[in-house]
Structure 1
Amino acid sequence: MGAYHAGSRAVQDLLGVRDRADHVGRSLGQDIKPVAAAFLELQPLIVVGAADPGTGRVWASPVTGRPGFVRATGPRRMSVAGGPPPADPLATALATPGVRAGSIALDPRTRRRMRLNGRLRPTPRGFAVDADQVFSNCPKYIQRRESCAWVPDREPGTPRTAGELDDAQAGFVAAADTFFLATVHAGGADVSHRGGNPGFVRVLSPRELAWPDYPGNAMFLTLGNLRADPRAGLLFLDWASGATLQLTGEAHTEFTGDERTVRFTVTEAVHTPAALPLRWSAPEYSPANP
């Protein structure tokens, strides 16, 4: 598949960055290079995004394991041992062959991140993704967390589902310095990272969020997807307690001069206390944060 579809091209042209995007787009390939394979094997967490085949809603879900649970098992295949719990809103998608999925492995310890997008393939031990796109991003807006501890005796709480945010969840979002954003288009799916100082995501109401789109690599894969298809899924993590907040809904981008704001409307929220068996250290905020 090509690096860009019509949605990304429209945003690039609107902002006058097509030439820069073409240059940066040369970094997109299908092969998992040895350095990328080595990076994957060190990670205790990846985030996967896709549209649920039944409802059509887009979700971003975390998957954790001891380092080595994610591996390159071929030049264009990433295999994952395990998966989210059966109640996770992406469980059906991850068990469905051929579903378009995006994924991101982000390591706060090194401020490195890698994205791999392709087609899902269920396996006896979990799932695999056959890659259409593999690429790395710069460390901008990634908060450094120096250590990550495995908490084997942490028991996930019961997921709570609602159609809007309660006060505690709104506070969770407002305090976040990081979240993950799953988007889709006719030919694929993608998961990106958004970071900033706490408060960069604003809760406008129990059903509406907004955040600034900070300057990046000019590819506009995420905003291009949203231009083509407004469906989106958000994942917020509590890096200490392991709690997760997954949101699905629709998003659109507002362009005002050189500034861009994304507004997201919540359709459904799933809040799971102690969902992840990981405890990260306190953040050192990225020097790139405005």
Structure 2
Amino acid sequence: MDLPIWPHAGLPFHTGELAAQERAGKRERLAAVANRVIRGEMPEQHRTFFAQLPFLLVGAVGADGLPWATVLAGKPGFAHTPDARHLRIDALPMPGDPAQSALARGARIGLLGIELHTRRRNRMNGIVVERDEAGLTVEVEQSFGNCPRYIQLRDLSFAEPATAAAAWQGDALDDQAAAWLRGADTLFIATSHTTSEAEGAHTGGVDVSHRGGKPGFIRVDDDGTLTFPDFNGNNYFNTIGNLLANPRAGLVVPDFADGSLLHVGGRAEVVWDGAELTSFAGAERLVRLHVERVVRRPGVLPLRWQLREYSPVLEDTGAWPAP
């Protein structure tokens, strides 16, 4: 059966993504395949994949202009597809989630479905066309797969959420947040851009993506900034391209052992070269985040994970030098 293709005129990339592809020497190769690998609807295998997931990563832009990444969870089947152009999500953000008001009708959002126990992941970006008391309906604008590199294998179990505790909020990292980040091996990053009239209405909006590394791959400096590597990936440059167009980002870092979430938002910059980059084996770029907001949400997910093994690809990456 033939897979769907990109149904619109032009490439499915905006000017920021194209600029990042050009700088990395990948633009010509991507132009030759983009209309076949990025689609305007979900292929059947993606529809089946989303329906078997117990959680989704979601990115959306809040009223403060910050993109926020968050997690929506439910029993498998809570995300399902009435047709190839729509994804229904029977879940909403809980109180204290910084993305709660961002997931409104008409909002552009990014979605990532990921299975940590198989390293499968697929992406979908679109528009919220309905929000009701039970959840969201998202109309597809972009649907595409991702490679399994840098994903740590984790086995999943279900649990009752911990007794609700108030979310902690601040405008800088406290000691607990800094320690959490220094020990992490996985983060998810939400970024966004504003589509120009010349680019048309189908080149994106918001994206949420996975980043993985050896524990300690997120460096927390004394000034409270975060720095982490951008390893070789699919070369679409969705995240990096968005940051070139709009240098704001939101991270969510799960505590896989107890279902807690740490959200960090701020202004980002891309480090393309220099001694700092070359000191980290395997990194092609670095992302530095100047923290503006922090939200810590204890025990909010009804999910727990146990580490099985780190990605074997990480053997070719280094460790952070001392700041």
TM range (shorter): over 0.9
Gaps of 5+ in 2: 1-7, 196-204, 275-282, 318-323
Residue 304 of structure 2 aligns with an amino acid whose one-letter code is R
Q: Give the % identical residues.
A: 39
Map 1:228-243 → 2, pairs under 5 A: 228-243=245-260
Gaps of 5+ in 1: none
- Does 1:286 find its partner at 2:303? no
Match of 2:38 in 1: 28
- Does 1:50 find its partner at 2:60? yes
Map 1:111-130 → 2, pairs under 5 A: 111-124=119-132, 125-130=134-139
- The answer to whether the Cα contact below 8 Å between 1:103 and 1:117 also exists between their aligned partners in 2 is yes
- Does 1:70 find its partner at 2:79? yes
Structure 2 vs 1, CA of residues 206 and 59 (structure 1 numbering), >3 Å: closer, same or farther?
farther
TM-score (norm 2): 0.86
- The answer to whether the Cα contact below 8 Å between 1:192 and 1:222 also exists between their aligned partners in 2 is yes
- The answer to whether the Cα contact below 8 Å between 1:24 and 1:219 also exists between their aligned partners in 2 is no
The Cα shift of 1:206 comes to 5.5
Deviation digits for residues 45-97 of structure 1 (CA, Å, limit 9, x no counterpart): 11111111x22221111111011101112211111002111331111121x22
Match of 2:286 in 1: 261
Map 1:1-290 → 2, pairs under 5 A: 2-25=11-34, 26-52=36-62, 54-94=63-103, 96-124=104-132, 125-145=134-154, 147-152=155-160, 154-187=162-195, 188-205=205-222, 207-256=224-273, 259-289=284-314, 290=317
- Which shifted more, 255-264 or 190-199? 255-264
Partner secondary structure for residue 102 of structure 2: helix
The Cα shift of 1:154 comes to 2.7
- The answer to whether the Cα contact below 8 Å between 2:70 and 2:252 also exists between their aligned partners in 1 is yes
Residue 74 of structure 1 aligns with an amino acid whose one-letter code is D
Residue 273 of structure 1 aligns with an amino acid whose one-letter code is P
Residue 295 of structure 2 aligns with an amino acid whose one-letter code is V
Q: Size of the alignment, in residue pairs? A: 287
- The answer to whether the Cα contact below 8 Å between 2:57 and 2:70 also exists between their aligned partners in 1 is yes
Residue 206 of structure 2 aligns with an amino acid whose one-letter code is A
Deviation digits for residues 106-125 of structure 1 (CA, Å, limit 9, x no counterpart): 11011011111011123332
The Cα shift of 1:98 comes to 1.2
Greater C-alpha radius of gyration = 2
State how far apart, in whole Å, the 1-side matches of 2:14 and 2:168 are. 36
- The answer to whether the Cα contact below 8 Å between 1:156 and 1:272 also exists between their aligned partners in 2 is no
Deviation digits for residues 117-142 of structure 1 (CA, Å, limit 9, x no counterpart): 01112333201211110111010000
Residue 131 of structure 2 aligns with an amino acid whose one-letter code is T
CA RMSD for the aligned pairs?
Answer: 1.5
